[in-house]
Chains A and B, each alone.
Chain A
């Protein structure tokens, strides 16, 4: 594990991409195959299953450290990471012989079959045998959360350098359903069998946000505009008589959206579509809004009732494979013509529909169209270059999202709570309120949007202006106004204010604005009326 812990330390210590790539490349060149495979898995989010639950681990660590549970919990609240908290409170370890990453993981996986006293004994012994970064990494493995600040792209690049396999090809090989238990390093990286995994998706092509206007993108006739839908990005795969639905986060969502079982009735085998999953009103042929789709998110099994109330479709905006052939190198206009031919004539009961082109003659006529996005139940526009291939990952230049400006409201800060992890010693989580007569009604929380310097300033103020404490939450006097930006507003029975916001964040600290001039509850209700 020492080699892997050293890699982890090297990656954690630097913010330079070059240094990270170099450390990873060196690791991939030297490590044994089994460790390489597990490292690729860990860095692409494929963690070993948790075999000990977090509560037990916390109890055992507190017991070893001689701490009452509430104090362990208070420490965890500040540190924000269970693996790190355990590591920090445990006494120093004694040295023990080194064992490889894959050996440790094999032992951790074997825990699942053991009775709890044995598990506990093994964990406690391991804590005495691993020190420093190794113990922290071990805790990360047993708690199942492993994030190292290395993107999959960076990992793929290093692997490409170490193996000589081209980066885009590797990115594709690393997609899909594999785990270190179901494959080997050779089968995954050096000699893959393309037929082995029919569910394997293509890496998603991602867009950058457009800063400023589109005029700098060159002639308008080189571009296609589409609505940017507010749903879930999905890749629908029809191969070998089966269908698979993948999320952008490489999560297999097939069972969650049974509607797509019917896709094979309408589309030929060997088809892969990219599009947006939306809750869909078949009568009006319009999306139902994100609140409807939310009833479908996070549900593993879907009841008949939910299925009837919020049926989904895939609004298709790209075709990656046709008749089993990879089309990604074709120009977008060509791919588009092909999927229009596939989908345009499908009957309304098909679970796929076309994401239409937004026609425009020149850039300056497109701007006012974008302003109508909310009425079209979109978040803005997507701009795609007609000649562009379907890129691997995020690449600047050919795909742009041109989102609407957020809705805004000026609100008064009323409660503050300290953050954790990166923000352990700063007040960063705030509750905001609007006026209802003389009363301030809380309506949203927001955590992000301020600079570090602003967070330090507000932290300084919160510490000196606490009216009351409710556990970790501090009530503060209503003295500061913030402009809150959000993407949508919905009616809510769970909140006293009667509304719930989508993606609320702080856009600006309105130092210039007196508290009395913050917005009112009536303003919120009017926004609900208009945009809800």
Chain B
């Protein structure tokens, strides 16, 4: 086996490195900077140049080496390269080649371009380890243009009735995607501190984002009527939101496709914005890798495995400690 599934994470015995391990290891190859993939405590990190600044911002002083997309590294005779995953800026799939056999670890990925993340590319391989957070045929994303129109309409209508529009979106990735997707000419965009800190990191590395205003206790809200407020979802549930007065709330998440989950969140609106692949995206990705063996990790693994098996793949389930989008968006992030 090129890769093994161990208690501490996915391991390459020949190359003596781990991929997205959740317990401290010697050498970790990390697909992207979300907390359930980039854990603290490893001795040495390897990630894309574009993922590195956010990881440093979150994990502090770490021994982190950057690598370009497509650049091939030799680690103890194992050829390793990182390829765009389209999930968040800097996110990667990791290709591992040993003695002519190629494995790919997808990390989290989204197959449709969003104008912000490096667009996903299929990577041919023999074995593909894929997430399947939204691995059910009920998940079928709208295009970004359709989503943008929905969010713009909501924002405009709120502004017309003298209300602010507060949208809950994960601080890394989703928040920036929302602010680049909307029509910034509608009004000002205010940001929660956690979002603005990530914005600052991304702007420094050259990611183009619209102008935003960081919310502080001193911010005069009357000076910004009808603003779009971008905050982590947890902030929408807390006292932070109260100072806005009349405000309409929304959550941006793939889970908003389900009416029940939308209602549980008790926000006024739920926009189906996801940085994961939908059902069609997952199937397309698996097909395009040309892999015969597929390992399903976090998400609807049992369903997706059975489906793949019926499509003629050698499919298995692997337990990992990667979170799912819901837990990401619902857990506090400061």
Q: Closest A-chain residue to B323, C-beta based?
A: A460
Q: Closest approach, in angstroms, between the C-beta of B50 and any C-beta of chain A? A: 29
Q: Which of B136, B263, B319, B324 has the most CB of A within 10 A?
A: B136
* A510 is an interface residue with CB less than 8 A from chain B: no
Query: Roughly how many angstroms separate A460 CA and B137 CA in the complex, as a whole number?
Result: 24
Does chain B have a CB within 8 A of A84?
Answer: yes
Contact B268 A422 (CB under 8 A): no
CB distance B264 to A78 under 8 Å? no
Would B137 and A15 count as touching, CB distance under 8 A? no
Given the complex of chains A and B, what is the CA–CA distance between A68 and B268 in angstroms? 35
**A424 contacts partner chain B, Cβ-Cβ < 8 Å:** yes
**B-chain residues with CB within 8 Å of residue A74 when the two chains form the complex:** 136, 300, 303
A14 at the interface (CB under 8 A from B): yes
B155 within 8 Å of A (CB atoms): no
Known contacts A78-B136, A85-B138, A466-B319: A13-B268 contact under CB 8 Å: yes
B263–A79 touching, CB < 8 Å: no
Q: Is B258 touching A71 in the complex (CB atoms < 8 A)?
A: no
Chain B 290-324 near chain A by CB (<8 Å), digits 1 or 0: 00000000001011001100100000000101011
With A88-B257, A456-B330 as known contacts, state yes or no: A78 contacts B138, CB within 8 Å.
Answer: yes
Using Cβ atoms and an 8 Å threshold, which residues of chain B touch A85? 138
Contact B137 A75 (CB under 8 A): yes
Contact across chains for A89 and B261 when beta carbons are under 8 A apart: no
Decide if A71 touches B303 in the complex (CB within 8 Å): yes
Contacts of B260 in A (CB 8 A): 79-81, 420-424
Is A65 interfacial (CB-CB < 8 Å)? Answer: yes
**What CA separation (Å) do A79 and B137 show in the bound complex?**
11
Q: Does B209 belong to the interface (CB within 8 Å)?
A: no
Does residue A452 face the partner (Cβ distance < 8 Å to B)? Answer: yes
Contacts of A466 in B (CB 8 A): 319
A89 and B137 contacting across the interface, CB-CB below 8 Å:
yes
How far, in whole Å, are A15 and B140 apart by their CA atoms in the complex? 26
Whole-angstrom distance between the Cβ of A291 and the nearest chain B Cβ: 33
Q: Which residues of A contact B307 (CB under 8 A)?
A: 71
In the complex, whether A67 has a CB less than 8 A from a CB of chain B is yes
How does the 8 Å CB contact mask read for B17-46 relative to A, with 1 for contact and 0 for none? 000000000000000000000000000000
Q: Is the CB of B263 within 8 A of A425?
A: no
- B331–A456 contact, CB under 8 A? yes
Question: Distance (Å) between the CB of A490 and the closest chain B CB?
Answer: 32
Residue on A with the closest CB to B259?
Answer: A84
Determine whether A12 belongs to the interface, using a CB cutoff of 8 Å to chain B.
Answer: yes
Closest to A70 in B: B306
Is the beta-carbon distance between B140 and A425 smaller than 8 angstroms? no
- A149 contacts B by Cβ under 8 Å: yes
Task: Determine whether the beta carbon of B264 is less than 8 Å from that of A452.
Answer: yes
Within 8 A of A (CB), among B133-179: 136-140
B115 to chain A: closest CB distance in Å? 24
**Given A71-B303, A149-B263, A423-B264, A460–B319 Cβ distance below 8 Å?**
no
In the bound assembly, the distance between CA atoms of A466 and B301 in angstroms comes to: 14
* Interface check A464, CB cutoff 8 A: yes
Interface of A: prevailing SS: helix
Contacts between chains A and B (CB distance < 8 A), count: 71
- Whether A424 and B302, one on each chain, are in contact in the complex, defined by CB atoms closer than 8 angstroms, is no
Is residue A469 contacting chain B, with contact meaning CB distance below 8 A?
Answer: yes
The verdict on A78 contacting B300 (CB below 8 Å), with A12-B259, A88-B140, A89-B138 known, is yes
In the bound complex, what is the Cα–Cα distance between A149 and B330 (angstroms)?
24
Residue pair B137, A424 in contact (C-beta under 8 Å): no
Say whether B98 faces chain A, with CB atoms less than 8 Å apart: no
- Which of chain A's residues have a CB closer than 8 A to the CB of B326? 425-426
User: Distance (Å) between the CB of B210 and the closest chain A CB?
Assistant: 26
Contact partner, A425, options B137, B255, B310, B319, Cβ 8 Å: B255
Residues of A near B261 (CB, < 8 A) are: 422, 424-425
- For B331, list chain A residues within 8 Å (CB): 456
A85-96 contact mask (Cβ, 8 Å, vs B): 1 or 0: 100110000000
Instruction: Indicate if the CB atoms of B268 and A14 lie closer than 8 Å.
Output: yes
Whole-angstrom distance between the Cβ of A243 and the nearest chain B Cβ: 41
Neighbouring B residues of A456 by C-beta, 8 Å? 327, 330-331
Shortest C-beta distance, A59 to chain B (Å), equals: 15
Complex CA distance for A70 and B319, rounded to whole angstroms: 23
Is B137's CB under 8 angstroms from A65's CB?
yes
B279-293 vs A, CB cutoff 8 Å, 1 = contact: the mask equals: 000000000000000
B328 to chain A, nearest CB (A): 11
Cβ of A454 to closest chain B Cβ, rounded Å: 12
- B269 within 8 Å of A by Cβ? yes
CB distance from A144 to the nearest CB of B (A): 17
Whole-angstrom distance between the Cβ of B226 and the nearest chain A Cβ: 18
Chain A residues 394-432 with CB under 8 Å of chain B are 420-426
Which residues of the partner chain A approach B306 to less than 8 Å between Cβ atoms? 70-71
Determine the residue in chain B with the shortest Cβ distance to A85.
Answer: B138
Q: Which residue of B lies closest to A19 (CB)?
A: B268
Q: Which residues of the partner chain B approach A422 to less than 8 Å between Cβ atoms?
A: 260-261, 263-264
Which A residue sits closest to B270, measured CB to CB? A13
Given contacts A423-B264, A460-B327, A466-B319, is CB(A67)–CB(B137) below 8 Å?
Answer: yes
B138–A88 contact, CB under 8 A?
yes
A353-401 interface (Cβ within 8 A of B): none
Name the distance in Å between B311's Cβ and chain A's nearest Cβ. Answer: 11
Say whether B269 contacts A424, CB under 8 Å.
Answer: no
**A469–B306 CA distance with the chains assembled, in angstroms:** 15
For residue B266, CB closer than 8 A to chain A, the reply is: yes
Q: How far is the CA of A71 from the CA of B326 in the complex (A)?
A: 22
Taking CB atoms and an 8 Å cut-off, the chain A residues in 433-460 that contact chain B are: 452, 456, 459-460
Contact (Cβ within 8 A) B319 A424: no
Q: Which residue of A lies closest to B267 (CB)?
A: A15
Q: Which residue of B lies closest to A62 (CB)?
A: B137
Report the minimum CB–CB distance from B258 to chain A (whole Å): 5
A194 CA to B326 CA, complexed, in Å:
54
Kindly state the separation between the CA atoms of A331 and B306 in the bound complex, as whole angstroms. 66
Bound complex: CA of A194 vs CA of B43, how far in Å?
83
Establish whether residues A15 and B268, one from each chain, have CB atoms under 8 Å apart when the complex forms: yes
Q: Give, as a whole number of angstroms, the nearest-CB distance from A11 to chain B.
A: 11
Q: In the complex, are the beta carbons of B310 and A68 less than 8 A apart? A: yes
Q: Which residues of B contact A12 (CB under 8 A)?
A: 259, 263
Which B residues are CB-close (under 8 A) to A70?
Answer: 306
Q: Shortest CB–CB separation between residue A21 and chain B, in angstroms?
A: 16
| Interchain CB contact (< 8 A) of B138 among A13, A79, A425, A459 | A79
Q: Which of A74, A75, A80, A426 has the most CB of B within 10 A?
A: A74
Question: Which residues from chain A contact B268 at a C-beta distance below 8 Å?
Answer: 13-15
B259: which of A72, A78, A81, A426 is its contact (CB, 8 Å)? A81
Instruction: State the Cβ distance, A147 to closest chain B Cβ, in Å.
Output: 11
Kindly provide the distance from the CB of A148 to the nearest chain B CB, expressed in whole angstroms. Answer: 11
Q: Is the beta-carbon distance between B300 and A71 smaller than 8 angstroms?
A: no
20 new A-B contacts, CB < 8 A, other than A15-B268, A75-B138, A424-B260, are A13-B268, A13-B269, A72-B137, A79-B138, A79-B258, A81-B260, A84-B259, A88-B137, A88-B138, A88-B139, A88-B257, A89-B138, A149-B263, A423-B260, A423-B264, A425-B261, A426-B326, A452-B264, A456-B331, A460-B327
Query: Residues of B with Cβ closer than 8 Å to A?
Result: 136-140, 255, 257-261, 263-264, 266, 268-269, 300, 302-303, 306-307, 310, 319, 321, 323-324, 326-327, 330-331
A-B contact pairs, 12 of them (CB 8 A): A12-B259, A12-B263, A15-B268, A70-B306, A71-B306, A74-B300, A81-B259, A81-B260, A84-B258, A88-B137, A424-B258, A460-B323
**Which 3 pairs from chain A and chain B are nearest by CB?**
A421-B260, A88-B138, A422-B260
